[in-house]
Structure 1
Amino acid sequence: MEINDLTPAELRVWQAFPRGEAVDFRAARDESAADGADWGPQRTLRATVLRALLLDGPVVGGEVAALKVAGARITGALDLRYATVESVARLSQCRFDDVPDLSGAQLKYLNLSGSDLPGLAGARIRVDGGLRLAKCRFRGPVRLGGAQIAGALYLEDVEITAPEGTEDPVLQLHQVTVGEDLCASRLRTRGEVRLNGATVSGSLRLEGAELRHPGEFVLSAEAMEVGANVLGRRLSAHGRIDLRGARVPGRLDLLHSRLSNPGGTAIRASSCVIGEVWLRRGPRMEGMLNLRRSQIEHLNLAPEMLPDQVRLLDLTYTSLTPHVPPEQRLPMLERDEDTFDPHGYEQLTAAYRRTGDDHAARLVQLAKQRRHRSTLPWYGRLWGHVQDATVGYGFRPMRALGWLLSLLAVGSVAFALHQPPALKAGEAPHFNPVFYTLDLLLPVISFGQEPAFAPEGPQQALAYALVLLGWILATTVIAGVTRTVSRQ
């Protein structure tokens, strides 16, 4: 490109490039690039001139060439497809009239912070340093699928929207590789954010982000791998979050978050391996929570945030906080469809036992037996009700003593008021109503009273009832104790 063809603004940038000097066209530090459509020729640069500088610009010995421009309007499409750029490029707070195309390009460092763009095409781009897009405003999709960024990717305070009818994700980061953190705090999007298969060596930061795509995928991150944490405190997501198969060795932090997808799935984190999940201090989730088949070391889950539908089949976790009574935890197991999942009850029981709360663990096991009873045929449910009423399936053994004492009192009073006649008057022992009742109630113990006396009429019916109830009580006690001992 001939220097005589340059405008005064372009000449100023051309002369500053060899020494890496910054050119600032801004009238004020706080002006917005969104107003750049009104900027005149005194601060307008052609994209072809910038391309010529980045690919074959002048150099000065002993100096580091760099393109550093602020507050310019850039006309035409900046086309760097599959180009290799050796110098640093910083085009901050600029207005781009057309979508820059950086697909397949290899750059040292790129900074577009604070700029206003109609979109960005950067599929399979390679950046040896960081890619800084903080505070940018995109009026169309940002396509960075397959990008390889050695440093960090900065998306803080970025706003991305797309024209009506756009079906593609507004932020495409699938199969991206980021060598450090992916910083997207306070990111604002209207459409899908796609992170499927992404690899982030550091943390994914989404604190205060606002993601909207009601009724559709708002964040799709299947098989994503993060080296540290996913930090989403005060995240507001209106749509479906999909983390299926993700690997997060640190924590998935969703404290104070608002997750909403009424009539669908609010968050699916199935088949994941996660160090810690924090889901507390926010409003109740709207939509389904799916944690099936995931492995979580520590689950920090507030019962009041759980939605009406929860899927926990084969979920494995080591510890569960906060420590609340089982009455507040059991509903989450009962919301998992109509199928009976014993594994969920066993996990909750183990969590309570690790904290030393054996009473809560027994209550969970009792709830498990009651839930299982609903799946049995009528005769199984009948026997289950008997076991529940008598000994609480073995988890309330003192209830058996209460039944025994009650029946003993009824029988003792009845037989004391009307002593049954002896079979052999001369050979019968002295009648004792208490031990006679015990003889009837306890099937394997004999005090010599029951075979010596023969009740008649109503007393005979009472004797038969006590024998039957004694056998039922003994059988349920044995069944309950056996179940309890085997579980120990």
Structure 2
Amino acid sequence: MDRNDLSPAELRVWQAFPKGAFVDFRPDGDQEGAQNAVQNAAQGADWGPERTVRAEVLRSLLLNGPLEDGEIPSLDVAGARITGTLDLSHGSVDHAIKLTACYFENTPVVYASRLRQLHLSRSVLPGLAAATVQVEGMLKLSDCRFHGYVRLGGARIEGALFLNRAEVVPPDSEWPAIRLGHAAIGDNLYAPGLRVHGEVLLTGASVAGSVTFDDARLRHPGRAALDAQTVTVGNDFHMRRVRTEGWVGLRGARITGRLDLSYAHLSNPDGTALRAGSSTIGELWLRKGPLIEGTLNLRRAQIDVLFLEPEVVPDQVYFSGLTYTTLTPHEPAERRLPMLDRDQDGYLPHNYEQLSAAYLRVGDDHAARAVQLAKLRRHRRTLPRYGRVWGLLQEVTVGYGFRPMFAAAWLLSLFAIGSAAFAVHHPSPLKPEEAPDFDPAFFTLDLLLPVISFGQEGAFDPTGWQQALAYTLVISGWLLATTVFAGITRTVSRQ
């Protein structure tokens, strides 16, 4: 490009490039804060020629700019109005690109290009077309304001990706507002305070470090606010104090560290608020936040530490196949059991076994027994009528084997009633000359105990109301003996 065709502003940039010198067109220079810089950049359409640089000039510099021996060239400009389209698609740029607090007239295009470093922080842009871009260093989009789509699908970023406090407001919701599907990030994805009106797509992405969405606001009502299915995160995934309108999808995700949703407000009232089925997560924290507005889906998830507060759990959940090693904070079983009753898949024994095992691991045998008892009660409601009657009998007599003292109390009560009743009026002997002396206590025991015999039952013949009482004792004895045996068998099998 002929230097005689350059404007004074463009000549400043051209002369600074070989030495990597910084060119600042802002009246206030670096003294303005990030928010002020963005607000000022939003007025970039009104900037005059003294702050205007053509995109073709920048492209010429980056691809074939002048060099000086002993100097490291770079494009480092702030506060410029960039007209035209900066198109570096399929190009290879060996110099750092820093265009901060700038106003872009058109969307920069770096599709399938190879860059050393790209820094667009605090700029205002119509969008960014950077699918399959390769960045050897960092990609910084901090405090940027996008009025269109940010396309980074399939990008390869060896350093970190910064989207902290960025705002993305596309004209419609036809496409994801931020597309990072199948991108590979060698360091962290750092996006606290991100504001997005539309979908953030992270499907199939890989992040070697941590993902941070703390204090982010993701708004896409009724649709995907964050779709991160099959994402792989080498460290933690932070979403503290995040607010979402729309569903958050983490199905099949692999998060080595912690998925932290502390103080998060998840809202999708007419559907699923959080989908994390079939995921593998080191720690999942759902704590200190309001009630999830929508369904919580953790089907077939594998979690080492599940930090789940009952106050956060919504009315509809899917816990089928959920496995976890540790459940915290420690809560009474009465606080945890209602969560299992809300499972939309119905009665699932596995859910109760998982909860009972979690209590056993921390030595709370009482809570574990309460969970097992609740499991049998829930199962009873799924049985036909005769099964429900039999189950109810086992509960009131021996507490399904978890409360064996119930049977002892019933037996003692019936023994006392029978002994008193038969002591008042002795039944007549069947063979007076052969009958032993009548003993009301052992006669009652003969009726109650179906196997043991003391020789009293076969020698005497109660009549009238005593006969009805005898039949009641015999039937009760058989039922109690059967339920006691079933309870003992269940207790031994648990041991």
In the other structure, the counterpart of 1:139 is 147
Deviation (angstroms), 1:229:
0.9
Match of 1:193 among 193, 200, 207: 200
Deviation string, structure 1 residues 98-134 (Cα, Å, up to 9, x no partner): 1001100100001001101111000000000010000
In the other structure, the counterpart of 1:409 is 416
Task: With the length of structure 2 as denominator, give the TM-score of the two structures.
Answer: 0.97
Question: 3-state SS of the aligned residue for 2:223?
Answer: strand
State the alpha-carbon separation in 2 of the partners of residues 428 and 276 from structure 1: 75
Question: 3-state SS of the aligned residue for 1:328?
Answer: helix
Match of 2:161 among 148, 153, 158: 153
State the alpha-carbon separation in 2 of the partners of residues 436 and 256 from structure 1: 68
Residue 176 of structure 2 is aligned to residue 169 of structure 1: yes
Deviation string, structure 1 residues 256-280 (Cα, Å, up to 9, x no partner): 1101100100011000111110101
In the other structure, the counterpart of 1:366 is 373
Residue 473 of structure 2 is aligned to residue 473 of structure 1: no
Whether the 8 Å CA contact 2:201–2:226 is kept in 1: the answer is yes
State the alpha-carbon separation in 1 of the partners of residues 161 and 454 from structure 2: 85
State the alpha-carbon separation in 2 of the partners of residues 212 and 198 from structure 1: 21
Deviation string, structure 1 residues 270-313 (Cα, Å, up to 9, x no partner): 00111110101100001111111111111110011001111011
Deviation string, structure 1 residues 322-367 (Cα, Å, up to 9, x no partner): 1111111111211112532111111111101101111111111111
Question: 3-state SS of the aligned residue for 1:86?
Answer: coil
In the other structure, the counterpart of 1:78 is 86
In the other structure, the counterpart of 1:234 is 241
Question: 3-state SS of the aligned residue for 1:323?
Answer: coil
Task: With the length of structure 1 as denominator, give the TM-score of the two structures.
Answer: 0.98
State the alpha-carbon separation in 2 of the partners of residues 10 and 341 from structure 1: 70
State the alpha-carbon separation in 1 of the partners of residues 77 and 226 from structure 2: 34
Query: Could you tell which deviates more after superposition, 68-77 or 376-385?
Result: 376-385
Deviation (angstroms), 1:435:
2.3
Question: 3-state SS of the aligned residue for 1:85?
Answer: coil
Whether the 8 Å CA contact 2:291–2:314 is kept in 1: the answer is yes
State the alpha-carbon separation in 2 of the partners of residues 436 and 415 from structure 1: 8
Deviation (angstroms), 1:16:
0.5
Task: Output aligned runs, 1:24-173, within 5 Å.
Answer: 24-28=24-28, 29-30=31-32, 31=37, 32-163=40-171, 165-173=172-180
Deviation string, structure 1 residues 403-429 (Cα, Å, up to 9, x no partner): 111211221221122222223334433
Task: Output aligned runs, 1:401-480, within 5 Å.
Answer: 401-480=408-487
Match of 1:261 among 250, 265, 268: 268
Residue 22 of structure 2 is aligned to residue 22 of structure 1: yes
Deviation string, structure 1 residues 58-81 (Cα, Å, up to 9, x no partner): 110000000000111111111010
How many residue pairs get matched?
A: 487
Task: Output aligned runs, 1:333-352, within 5 Å.
Answer: 333-337=340-344, 339-352=346-359
Deviation string, structure 1 residues 423-457 (Cα, Å, up to 9, x no partner): 33344333332222122111112223222221111
State the alpha-carbon separation in 1 of the partners of residues 155 and 129 from structure 2: 11
Task: Output aligned runs, 1:285-364, within 5 Å.
Answer: 285-337=292-344, 339-364=346-371
Once the two structures are aligned, what percentage of the paired residues are identical? 60
State the alpha-carbon separation in 2 of the partners of residues 432 and 255 from structure 1: 70
Question: 3-state SS of the aligned residue for 1:361?
Answer: helix
State the alpha-carbon separation in 1 of the partners of residues 428 and 391 from structure 2: 38
Deviation (angstroms), 1:386:
1.2
Task: Note the residue ranges of structure 2 that are not aligned, 5 or more in a row.
Answer: none
State the alpha-carbon separation in 2 of the partners of residues 85 and 167 from structure 1: 32
